[in-house]
Structure 1
Amino acid sequence: MKDFSSWTVQELLRDRSPSIRCHPIEWSETSENCFNIPNEEQLVDTPYQLSLSANEYGRMHGFFLGDIFYIVWLDPEHLLYS
Structure 2
Amino acid sequence: MEEEFDVSAFSAINALRRATLKERSVREEERRQIQAKIQAHAQVLRAAFTFQASGNDTDALKNKIKNDYKEERE
TM-score range, shorter chain: under 0.3
Query: With structure 2 as the length reference, what TM-score do the two structures score?
Result: 0.21
**Higher RCO structure (Cα 8 Å, ≥6 apart):** 1
More helix by percentage: 2
